[in-house]
């Protein structure tokens, strides 16, 4: 039995299948549903868990070489929220693009992790890096 780290079996199963250049979406509570995409729904109530909490846990288990976000995130959120996201993604290149373009990347992802986050456009597409070893 696991004692530390990610305990959710569905999320662990999803992460175990990610290989180099695969994509994983971490999304807020209002993000659209994709019929053919595996969804791990971690939402409990508004704000729990947050996208950043899930990112923090995933970063311990996944090498991330790129993150995509909607440019609307920068337009809709205050400086403190933008700062928290920038700190959480420190060391990973982030590309901002129009939300419509962002959503076109979603169907090619391994899966989508839905959170209870209420931050506007707090959706991330993580691109996995190489596994060293």
Contact 35, 106 (CB under 8 A): no
CB crowding 33-46: b at 16 or more within 10 Å, else e:
eeeeeebbebbeee
Contact 44, 118 (CB under 8 A): no
Name the DSSP class of 108. G
pLDDT for the residue numbered 77: 98
pLDDT for the residue numbered 73: 98
Domains and CATH numbers, the chain: 20-128 (3.40.1650.10)
Locate 96 and state its tokens: 């901002």
Question: ω into residue 132 within 30 of 0, thus cis?
Answer: no
Which residues are part of the catalytic machinery?
Answer: 20
pLDDT for the residue numbered 92: 97
Question: 10-residue block means of pLDDT along the chain (133 residues)?
Answer: 78 93 96 91 97 96 95 98 98 97 96 97 94 53
């Amino acid at each position: 039995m696991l004692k530390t780290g990610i305990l959710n079996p569905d999320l662990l199963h999803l992460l175990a299948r990610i290989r180099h250049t695969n994509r994983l979406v971490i999304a807020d509570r209002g993000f659209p549903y994709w019929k053919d995409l595996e969804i791990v729904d971690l939402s409990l109530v508004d704000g729990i868990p947050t996208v950043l909490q899930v990112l923090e846990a995933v970063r311990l288990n996944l090498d991330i070489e790129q993150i995509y976000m909607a440019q609307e995130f920068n337009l809709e959120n205050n400086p403190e929220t933008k700062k928290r996201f920038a700190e959480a993604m420190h060391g990973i290149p982030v590309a901002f693009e129009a939300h419509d373009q962002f959503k076109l990347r979603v169907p090619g992802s391994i899966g989508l992790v839905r959170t209870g986050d209420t931050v506007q456009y707090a959706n991330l597409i993580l691109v996995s890096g190489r596994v060293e070893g």
